[in-house]
Each structure stands twice: as structure tokens, then as C-alpha cells.
Chain A
Amino acid sequence: MEKTEQEAIRRVLAGDQDAYRVLMERHLPAVLRVTTRITGNPVDAEEAAQEAFLRAYKKLPDFREDATFGTWVYRIAMNCSLNLVERRNRDLGWNAVSLDGALETENLAVSRGLTPEAAVLDREALDRRERAMLALTPMERTAFVLKHLEGQSMEVIAEALGVSANSAKQAVFRAVGKLRRELAPVQRTSSGVRPAIAFAKERR
């Protein structure tokens, strides 16, 4: 861990609360990236990121310096995001992931400078992916995001989800299977492959 971070942690523990800003500035991008991917919208992402930094601050005395602060707060962020998604799912009045509106368009991966036709197609593809992601449970979504987009190991995912490595693996597999079925019409038209829904679990 860098000396600047160690110094910042020491100052925070000594009572200098403003020193925590150094840590936040350094690691907010990575934290916000993972919270955005798990929650699926920028508002929840910021909320989860802030909660992660608050929890890290509260538990700072427990932080062991053999790890990096970034990895540590990143893992807390994974938990906070999953927590938030589950809370939103229980709260039926909360529409966590909106499929229309300009806000998401600005914050999600949309190419700039497209022709109007390309932009419509791009938008449609984005909507399909969003719908497919909505078919996943919070755990499946988190496991999939962490594995496929964040490139985390199954051990780290299992720890974040509080399950065994095998359960985490199964969650990822279920997620990919569901996404494949949700996107099946697109795949059929684009590549001519038979619908994924017809996939036999045990082929032989």
C-alpha cells in the first residue's frame, strides 16, 4: 500500500476526518464502476458507493494493512450494491432500473456520434440487454457482473455474496443461461442458431 494511503489512514484514525477524502478520491472511480454495474443505475450506484465508504470509515480500525484499501473498500462496495438491489427488489414502489428516459442513456455505454438509424438500433440493443438483466435475481446479477464484467475470481465473488464458491459459480451459470434465453430471438436472427430456449440441459 502506498505511503500516501497509509498516512491518510493513520491521520483518520488519529481523528482527522478530512484525511479520508484522500482515500475517497483515489478509489471512488473503481467503487462507482462496480456499484453502477451491479445496481444498474447511477443514482443507486452513488448511494451504494457512499455507503461503502461510510462503512469502510467505520471499520477502518479493523483494516489490515496487508491488503490494499482499494481492494477492501471495493469488496465492501460489492456488498452494499447487492444489499441495495435486494432492498429495491423488495420495495415494489421503487423502479430501480428504468428502461426509458435520457438519464440512463447518458450514463450507460452508448456510442457517441452515431447516425440516427444506428442510434436507434443501438438503443434497442441496450434495451434488450437491460430487460435481460432484469430477469436475473440480485444474486445472479451481482455474480454475473463481478465475474464477467469485473473479472473477479469465484472466491472473491463467493465472499462478496456470502456463499460457497460452488454456489457463486452456479449463480453465474444460471445468470448466463437466463441471459442467453432472454436474448435468444436476437441471436437466432443474427446468427441463425436455433433458439436457446430449446437447449437440452443434458445433451447426451
Chain B
Amino acid sequence: MKSFDENELIAYHLHELAPRRELEIRQMLEADAVATAESDAIAETLRAFRGYGAAPVVDAAVVERSWQSIRPSLGYLTPRPQRVSWLRSLRWQPLGVGLGLAGAVAGVVMILVSHRVAGPVAHGGTTAETVAPLAAGGKALVVIGPPMKRVVPERYNGRPGPLTTAPVDRGVDEALLVAPGVRGEGGVEHSVEAGELPYSSSASTTRDAQMGATPVLNAASASRARVWPSLPLREMDVSLGGYGMATVTSAQNLGSVSRTVGTRLSVGARASFHQQFKRWLGYEAGVAGTHTTVLYADNSSTPSFSRSGSISSDVYEVTGTYVVQGPRSKQVSSFADVGGGMLAFVPTQNTPTVSSSYRPAAVAGAGVEYHWKRHWGVRAEYRGLFFVSPTFNYLGAAIPVASHKMLSSEPTLSLTYRFGVRDKD
């Protein structure tokens, strides 16, 4: 039979023990006179306080006094309007909501893409504007992209006159691509006599060949003329993945007390929609959800000043960021983003002592994306969130809740699906 200590004896008298343990202690007390005496002393202590602090008499005068005390304040304490109830419903299905939002966004985007009016397809590489300066000897280096899929009518030799409608001579195109000094897909380099410029690169390849333009190899010029592969107009993608939330514990010195606020490590789900207009112009909208515990503590050398506590909550995050793209190749791209958003800390305990806290947040991040297929890719990203810690409108005194500036790191790994990309992208 296991021995017991004072606490267990107190728990026995307060009926806080499991039935089996209570029976064991009762049997031990019957067999041990000293233990019985101690048990009696505890029982006597509890009896002594049985009638302590008897209920006060609350008569009409007390009620009237209390009412008159609070009545004037009611005007200033208008009950707050109902909180947005959908946030409460979010609490139970953060992942489902994230998936739903991502699905809805994807659906809208697919509808938009399928209804987009077909227009001239942009170059996957260089354009007619990437004309190098005139080379020595009166020749100019022209960098030509891959043959256009659709011939644009143009003026002959750039002079006024009827529009030519001559189709591209595919055979000559192919001959050009294999000619010395000529690069294929990535861009065709060849020189033409000065005075024949400007002309549209792709459609004029036939004419160049007919006019005997001499292809030259000028690596330096080609390198200068080369630009980043241009993005498809309005590249869009959706992503869905998981992230970790690690917050740096914030400390504040209040004289004899050091107050800290932090959170436990947590993982959550995130969905986002991204659209890029140009390399330097894009945006991303994202929603995320996780469950964490916010930790508060007062640390002091004086024991009575030390206290700590925690509040568990679901954390919902809605952010919008400005996105710029960095270096990219065919399969790997990089980006950085900065923006803001809103965090909702919804306590998981439904008690009157705590309620939801909403905090604006600043967001900054960077990441890389790897596309192993035309549409599919994986994105790894680091995001930093800067916000003020939640207080949950806590009414009690046991937990030293405080508003501290917090930095939260959110490494994110997600699966992405791109829309509107071509084979050559």
C-alpha cells in the first residue's frame, strides 16, 4: 500500500482523491493512530472555517446602493456589439476553411483563365526591342527570339506602303536556326546591314535570309542584349501548405519584476493566392491558421511577485503583401514580399474571463520556388511577422498578461499550382 503525505490527507478530507485511493487512505488511517490524529487535525481546521465569512445580508438598501453605484457607468459601458460570429466558427475548422478558400480562389482563377480572350502570345525570350547598337562596319547585331506563333502584319522595310501578309517561311526559319552564329530557341543572333532597321524580328527572318543578312557571332553583345526571361502576363498561382510558428520571447524590465511574453511552438496550415504582373509588381493574399499557447510570466526574486500563466488560443492570420521577383531560371524562381495583415487570437476556453484579441501585423518574407512540372511546384518561404502580443481582454489577475512587441518566424513549405503558363515558360 502506498504511503501518503499531508497533501493527500487534505485531498482526502476535501474528497479530491480517486475512490480507490480514498479507500486505501481510510484503511491506513484505521490502522495508524498517529496518522489518524493528523487527519483529525486537518478535519478540525476545515471545520473551524466552515462558517467563515457567512453570507452578508442583502436587503433592498444594499441592492439600491449597488445599483446607484453602477447605474451612471452603464451609459459609458454600452454593451459591445456582437463579435463577428464567423470568426468563432473558424475556430473549429481552420484547415477546412483554408482549403475551402484556396479551392474557391482556384475556381475563380480557372474560370477567369478559361474565359480569357486569346491575344498575341508574348515572347518567351527577347523581343524586337532588344536591338543591339550598331556594330562596327555598319552592321547591327539583332537578337531575335523564337519564331512567333502568329505573324503580325507589318510594313515592308519599315517604309509606308501596303501591309505584307506573307506567311512566315518555315523552311527558311529552320535554315536560319542551324546557320553558323545563330542561336536557336533562346534567341537568334545575326547581323543585318544598317538601314534595314527597324523591323520586327520574328516575321522578318524570312526577309533577312532573302536579303543576305550575314549572321555573326558576338557573344558580348548577345550577353548585353539578353534580358531575364519575361514572365507570362499576369502569372498566377495558388498554394497550400504548412508552416511553423516560433515566436521570440519578449522581456520587459519593470524594476523588481521582469515580465515576459512568448508562445509555444506550433504548426498550422496556410493557403495563398499570388498574382505577378511584372517582375517588380505582384501581390499575394494569404490566410493561415494554427493553435498555440501564449505564455505570460512575471519573474522576480521576491516569490510573492512571481507568477505565470498561459492562455491557449487559435490564431488566424490574414495577410496581403507586395511581391517582387528575384533571379529565376526555368525551374527555380525567387521572390521577396512585404506587407501587412491581421491576426486574430481566439481563446479556446470559452470563459467570461477571456475573449478574442485582434492585432495588426507587419509581414516580410522571402522564398524560392521550384517547378518540377509545368504547373506544379514547391515553395519554401520564410516569413517574419511583427505584432503586439494579445491580452485576450483578460479579466483575472492570476495571469500577468501584457502587450509586448513580438516577432514571430514562420517558415512555410507549400505546394503551388500555376495558371496561365505556356510550354516554353
Tell me if B49 and A149 are in contact (CB < 8 A). Answer: yes
- The bracket for how many chain A residues form the interface is 35 or more
Contacts of B82 in A (CB 8 A): 61
Q: Is A118 an interface residue (CB 8 A)?
A: no
Bound-state CA distance A173–B58 (Å) is 32
Q: Is B398 an interface residue (CB 8 A)?
A: yes
Question: What 1/0 mask marks residues of chain A from 144 to 158 whose CB sits below 8 Å from any chain B CB?
Answer: 110111000010000
Tell me if B53 and A149 are in contact (CB < 8 A). Answer: yes
Q: Is B24 an interface residue (CB 8 A)?
A: no
B83 CB to nearest A CB, Å: 7
A180 in contact with B353 given A79-B397, A163-B309 (CB within 8 Å): no
A187 CB to nearest B CB, Å: 5
Specify which of B40, B311, B395 is in contact with A55 (CB 8 Å cutoff): B395
Specify which of A37, A162, A187, A201 is in contact with B41 (CB 8 Å cutoff): A187
B59 CB to nearest A CB, Å: 10
Contacts of B304 in A (CB 8 A): 89, 137
Specify which of B66, B349, B353 is in contact with A79 (CB 8 Å cutoff): B353
Question: What 1/0 mask marks residues of chain B from 313 to 351 whose CB sits below 8 Å from any chain A CB?
Answer: 000000000000000000000000000000000000111
Can you sample 25 A-B contacts with CB below 8 Å?
A17-B71, A24-B70, A33-B56, A40-B53, A46-B62, A50-B69, A50-B70, A54-B74, A58-B77, A61-B79, A62-B355, A79-B395, A147-B14, A154-B16, A159-B351, A161-B396, A162-B311, A162-B394, A169-B16, A173-B10, A173-B11, A176-B45, A183-B48, A191-B41, A201-B5
What is the interface of chain A, defined by CB distance below 8 A to chain B? 12-13, 17, 20-21, 24-25, 28-29, 32-33, 36-37, 40, 42, 45-46, 49-50, 53-64, 72, 75-76, 79-80, 82-83, 86-87, 89, 107-109, 125, 129, 133, 137-139, 144-145, 147-149, 154, 159-163, 169-170, 172-173, 176-177, 179-180, 183-184, 186-187, 190-191, 193-194, 196, 199, 201-204
What is the interface of chain B, defined by CB distance below 8 A to chain A? 3-7, 10-11, 14, 16, 35, 37-38, 40-42, 44-46, 48-56, 58, 62-63, 65-67, 69-71, 73-75, 77, 79-83, 304, 309, 311, 349-353, 355, 394-399
